[in-house]
Amino acid sequence: MTTAAIRTSGLTKRYGHVEVLKDLDLEVTEGEVLGYLGPNGAGKTTTIRLMLGLIGPTRGRAEIFGLDSHRQTVDAHRRLTYVPGEASLWPSLTGFETLHLLGRVRGEVDLPYRDELIGRFDLDPSKKVRAYSKGNRQKVVLIAGLMARPDLLILDEPTSGLDPLMEQAFRHCIHEAKERGQTVFLSSHILSEVEALCDRVGILRAGELVDIGTLADLRHLSALTVEATFDGSVPDLTRIPGVSAVEVEGRVVRCQVAGDVEPLLKVLAFSGVHELLSREPSLEELFLSHYGAGSGDEGVPSDAH
Amino acid sequence: MLTEASGEHLLEVQSVPALANRAVEPTAPPGRFQTLAVAHATARKAVRSGVILGLVVGLYVLVQAFSYTSTYKTSAERAKLASTLTSGGLSPLVGPARQVQTVAGYTAWKCLMALTIIGAIWGLLTATKLLRGEEDSGRWELMLAGLTTRRRAALQAVLGLGAGWGALLAVASAITVAVGRASAISISAPSMLFFSLSVASSAAMFLGIGALTSQLAASRRQAAALAAAALGVSFALRMAGDSSPALGWLRWASPLGWVEELRPLTSPQPLALGLIAAFSLSLLAGSVYLAGVRDLAASVLPAKPGSRPRTALLSGPVGLAMRLTRATTLAWLVGIATMAWLLGSETKVAVKALQDSSSVQKALSRLSGTSGQAKVYLGLSFVIVALLISLLAIGHLTAARKEESSGRLDHLLVAPISRSVWLASRLLLACAVVTMAGVMAGVVAWLGTGHGHDGIGLSSMADGGLNTAPPAICLIGFGALAIGFVPRWTSLVLYGVLAWSFLVELVGGLGLTSHWLLDTSVLHHMRAAPALAPNWTSGVAMIAVALTAGALGIAAFGRRDLAGD
Ligand SMILES: Nc1ncnc2c1ncn2[C@@H]1O[C@H](COP(=O)(O)OP(=O)(O)OP(=O)(O)O)[C@@H](O)[C@H]1O
Ligand SMILES: [Mg+2]
């Protein structure tokens, strides 16, 4: 068995009486780009801080290239860099000084690549951090993370505060990293970013991994969107098994169907359908259906399928 | 059923923006708390530190007044002291001695200048921290959230500072009035109130100066440095004014001089209060005005644009710590050196003054043996230096903790740097700095005595200075324990231990306490070097305690979760 870049088994974190991460089993193979999604407070940052050994697990373990991230922290860290979403940096250092420092503590840095990144992200490194806008601060940590060309990049909402142009530059860098065989763990709220970059996507909700797979897999398994236009009165579709998210606009009804479509078709067939459209859900719909059911701490044990 | 639930949530998600819009609509007036958020937040912090300063002022007055009445018992002794002090040439340092044959006169002479300076430092630190520091940290942006203008925010902050000043005045007045009621002291309540107001007036002026520099400077540090420079100039002018009657007019050019001209407890002249009030209020008003003119987080003075990168120190955690703490450390070292120099240069007169008391005279000759009374005086007064050095140590530890709570430490700890190495290096750096500060204080005090008054050798003074390091190192050990086990309480634990120790020393100085109590003070285990050979056994014991505590703290820090505020 090859060693995975990241492997967690039964990884659990409890704060007080609340388990904010429950028995997470996750494997990220080398060279893969994994998107990690979930509503606010789902436990994404907690997962990442556990993988980095910044906090310790209540149960279970996390491994980075086979090294226990709680016990062999320093060795594990030789192979990764981390980009937090909210960069708190030393206000009295300049951008350049910060990059220099972070490069030196990390060990090896690809200096020409660093300078290229500074250009690509259009950063003025001579300014003091306290004078940077939020986006510029984010660029500094992003460049610091990328410039080391580590085997594993752990990114927690890395593009928060970046403008669309910089978002583009970021995507370019991740594509490059992937081509070089680097592994990327990307937690994000930007669905288009995840869709564009990730091989696989994991969805976390209330501390539990509710779904993981390629985008195609997830689409296939989840609901179909159906739009029907009726000649006469609109029938009540909400009671049909498998149908959800029913929206009525005049004589047009939009809904989602999970699993067997036959019950819905039967009803439609007897209600004078004038036009019928069906399509796979957009990524957004996919995630909304996952996020929506019991986001936050309630932990309603429900699934769309 | 379940799918229906998810449908409802879908609708909920869509309605969120609508709700959010409603919340900021001006038609619904924002809650009162929200509109005064900055005033509340500032007042809370200012009142807390104002109360602490009020306690310090009260305690200082209490100790000085009672030690005068217990040291100089007869009016003959007091008259002798008065002639020593009036002719002693100390007035450039601490102001002229008036009516020191009375409790009131002595208390005013002994306390006013020291407390005026402490009040000024409090004022400038509090104003720059709560105005500029909070703004730099971005907290204002959060609180404001578009509800109020910058000028109004600054006005609110100034009101908050005013609340802190009021707390200082109230607490100081309460204690000093109570002290005045004691039969041995018997100073009237109005006199004590005027004295407290005089001390508080310097705090008010430097709150104003700090508020103004907070608008002028580009960062909190720069603002504090500008205000400290103002304090330095003001002190120098007053010092010149007090050095010869011909230069007396210079006092009117210095805010500290105005406070001196109030002459509380001896011959009160409330007239200068008008000047002080006008000065403070116009500074505060000016800073509110400037806050509206400039941009948030920007400065009126041209900000130094990014300078040439200086990367020499930036190669690891130790270098980074040195880079981050060097400016503050330097400021502390200057302060400690000044204090040591003052103590050294005061020695001659102070010893003579002490000789005017027959009880002290007896005690001194018993204690000092052959080594000279100047050494005893220096040895005893070096507790103040030890206190300052301990504060420097605490500053280093709270800075280390701040690295963690701010999340900046994450950047270092996700690199191949172990937590124990990081914490150990911060602790060692702190130890090195306090040791250096101690030796420096000894040497500077020696210079201050005029290169060895009364047979005080340089090496014995350096030893004496070094002797102040173990208490600070002991505190560093406690700090490591706090960081390891109760990180959020670090500064509270450290200031608590130090305040307790200092209190025990003060009470012990009045001869009111048992050996058991004294043993709980980290300062007490320091011997009165250079009078007595530094007690290295107790020094070594303290360092052993520090090492054990440090090792435990480091081990605990390696195991626990990183913790924010
Ligand atoms: N130190 C802590 N003490 C108590 N609860 C905590 C602590 N840290 C995190 N939590 C809780 O754990 C849960 C997960 O938080 P986490 O930061 O991992 O969420 P997230 O998925 O990263 O959310 P977001 O998308 O908003 O970044 C939240 O409910 C949070 O309140
Ligand atoms: Mg998060």
SS (H, E, C) B160-182: HHHHHHHHHHHHHHHHHHHHHHC
**Choice between B318 and B524, residue whose per-residue pLDDT is larger:** B318
**Domain identity same for B364 and B417:** yes
- Mean pLDDT over residues A211-225, rounded? 78
- Mean pLDDT over residues B150-178, rounded? 93
Check pLDDT > 50 for residue A299: no
Other C-beta atoms closer than 10 Å to the C-beta of A147 total 24
**Domain identity same for B406 and B539:** yes
**Domain identity same for B190 and B287:** yes
Identify from B2, B6, B403, B405 which residue to disrupt to test chain A contact, counting A C-beta atoms within 10 A and taking the largest count.
B6
A296 lines ligand 1 (CB under 6 A): no
Q: Is there a domain that residue B1 lies in?
A: no
Taking all residues of chain A, what is their mean pLDDT, rounded to a whole number? 88
pLDDT for the residue numbered B28: 40
pLDDT for the residue numbered B533: 65
Query: Rounded to the nearest whole angstrom, what is the distance from the C-alpha of residue B396 to the centroid of ligand 1?
Result: 30
**Domain identity same for B295 and B408:** no
Quickly state the pLDDT bin for A174 (edges 50, 70, 90): very high
Check pLDDT > 60 for residue B29: no
pLDDT 10s digits, A123-167:
999 988 988 888 999 999 999 999 999 999 999 999 988 999 999
**Dihedral (CA of B402, B406, B412, B414) sign:** positive
Q: Is there a domain that residue B130 lies in?
A: yes
Long-range contacts of B112-116 (CB under 8 A, 24+ apart): B112/B195, B112/B198, B112/B199, B112/B259, B112/B260, B112/B264, B113/B256, B113/B260, B114/B60, B115/B57, B115/B60, B115/B61, B115/B199, B116/B198, B116/B199, B116/B202, B116/B256, B116/B259, B116/B260
Q: Is there a domain that residue B11 lies in?
A: no
A207 lines ligand 1 (CB under 6 A): no
- Mean pLDDT over residues A73-81, rounded? 95
The C-alpha atoms of residue B400 and residue B394 are separated, in whole angstroms, by 10
Chain A residues with CB under 8 Å of B324 CB are 90, 92
Other C-beta atoms closer than 10 Å to the C-beta of A210 total 19
Check pLDDT > 50 for residue A295: no
Please tell me the least confidently modeled range out of A69-83, A168-182, B16-30: B16-30
Q: Is there a domain that residue B23 lies in?
A: no
A42 lines ligand 1 (CB under 6 A): yes
Measured distance between the N- and C-terminal CA atoms of chain A, rounded to whole angstroms: 32
Question: Are A97 and B136 a contacting pair at CB < 8 A?
Answer: no
> How is chain B split among helix, strand and coil, in percent rounded to 5?
80, 0, 20
pLDDT 10s digits, B295-328:
655 666 665 554 577 888 898 999 999 999 988 8
pLDDT 10s digits, B471-500:
999 999 999 999 999 999 998 999 899 888
- Prior bond of B530 cis (ω within 30°): yes
Q: Is there a domain that residue B153 lies in?
A: yes
Taking all residues of chain B, what is their mean pLDDT, rounded to a whole number? 82
- Residue the block writes with tokens 């120190």: B313
- Among B276, B302, B328, the domain boundary falls at B302
pLDDT 10s digits, B419-473:
999 999 999 999 999 999 999 998 998 888 876 556 677 887 888 888 888 899 9
**Domain identity same for B265 and B404:** no
Question: Of the candidates B4, B12, B297, which has its C-beta nearest A238's C-beta?
Answer: B4
Question: Percentage of chain B surpassing pLDDT 90?
Answer: 40
- Mean pLDDT over residues A92-116, rounded? 92
Check pLDDT > 60 for residue B79: yes
Q: Which residues of A75-107 are buried (b: 16+ CB within 10 A; e: fewer)?
A: ebbbebbbbbbebbbbbebbbbbbbbbbbbbbe
In angstroms, the separation between the Cα of residue B402 and the nearest Cα of chain A is: 11
Question: Which ligand has the shortest distance to the CA of A49?
Answer: 1
- Among B240, B275, B302, the domain boundary falls at B302
Query: Rounded to the nearest whole angstrom, what is the distance from the C-alpha of residue A42 to the centroid of ligand 1?
Result: 7
A228: tokens are 């029907």
Q: Is there a domain that residue B482 lies in?
A: yes
Burial class (CB in 10 A: 0-12, 13-18, 19+), A72: middle
In angstroms, the separation between the Cα of residue B32 and the nearest Cα of chain A is: 29
Check pLDDT > 90 for residue B356: no
Q: Is there a domain that residue B10 lies in?
A: no
Number of domains in chain B: 2
Closest Cα to atom 19 of ligand 1: A41
- Is A13 in contact with A57 (CB distance < 8 Å)? yes
- Among B302, B328, B360, the domain boundary falls at B302
**Choice between B535 and B418, residue whose per-residue pLDDT is larger:** B418
- Is A258 in contact with B1 (CB distance < 8 Å)? no
Task: Using alpha carbons only, give the angle B170, B264, B267 rounded to the nearest 5 degrees.
Answer: 150
Provide residues of B within 8 Å CB-CB of chain A: 2-7, 9-10, 12-13, 136, 219, 221, 297, 303, 305-307, 309-311, 314-317, 320, 323-324, 406-408, 410-419, 559-562
In angstroms, the separation between the Cα of residue B386 and the nearest Cα of chain A is: 30
pLDDT for the residue numbered A130: 81
Identify from A47, A130, A140, A248 which residue to disrupt to test chain B contact, counting B C-beta atoms within 10 A and taking the largest count.
A130
- Is B389 in contact with B437 (CB distance < 8 Å)? yes
- Mean pLDDT over residues B522-551, rounded? 78
Q: In chain B, count H helices and then E strands.
A: 23, 0
Check pLDDT > 80 for residue A297: no
pLDDT 10s digits, A16-56:
999 999 999 999 999 999 999 998 999 999 999 999 999 99
- Is B41 in contact with B159 (CB distance < 8 Å)? no
Quickly state the pLDDT bin for B1 (edges 50, 70, 90): very low
Check pLDDT > 80 for residue B27: no
Closest Cα to atom 30 of ligand 1: A41
- Mean pLDDT over residues B330-349, rounded? 83
CA B157 to chain centre: 21
Q: Is there a domain that residue B307 lies in?
A: no
**Domain identity same for B116 and B246:** yes
Find the domain containing B514 and state its range. 315-560
**Domain identity same for B328 and B382:** yes
**Choice between B528 and B187, residue whose per-residue pLDDT is larger:** B187
A86 lines ligand 1 (CB under 6 A): no
pLDDT for the residue numbered B508: 66
Residue among B396, B351, B381, B391 at smallest CA distance from B505: B381
Ligand 1 atom closest to residue A189's alpha carbon, by position in its atom list: 25
Work out whether strand A200-205 and strand A183-187 pair parallel, antiparallel, or are unpaired.
unpaired
The C-alpha atoms of residue A180 and residue A182 are separated, in whole angstroms, by 6
**Choice between B451 and B413, residue whose per-residue pLDDT is larger:** B413
Question: Please, what is the angle between helix B490-509 and helix B37-71, to 10°?
Answer: 20
**Domain identity same for B222 and B334:** no
**Domain identity same for B272 and B157:** yes
Work out whether strand A224-230 and strand A208-213 pair parallel, antiparallel, or are unpaired.
unpaired
Question: Are A92 and B221 a contacting pair at CB < 8 A?
Answer: yes
pLDDT for the residue numbered B352: 73
**Domain identity same for B280 and B326:** no
Residue among A116, A290, A75 at smallest CA distance from A204: A290
A38 lines ligand 1 (CB under 6 A): yes
The C-alpha atoms of residue B447 and residue B444 are separated, in whole angstroms, by 5
In angstroms, the separation between the Cα of residue B317 and the nearest Cα of chain A is: 8
Chain A residues with CB under 8 Å of B407 CB are 84, 86, 88
Check pLDDT > 50 for residue B267: yes
- Residue the block writes with tokens 């100034």: B158
The C-alpha atoms of residue A38 and residue B138 are separated, in whole angstroms, by 28
Quickly state the pLDDT bin for B532 (edges 50, 70, 90): low
Question: Are A91 and B219 a contacting pair at CB < 8 A?
Answer: yes
The C-alpha atoms of residue B116 and residue B260 are separated, in whole angstroms, by 9
**Domain identity same for B442 and B529:** yes
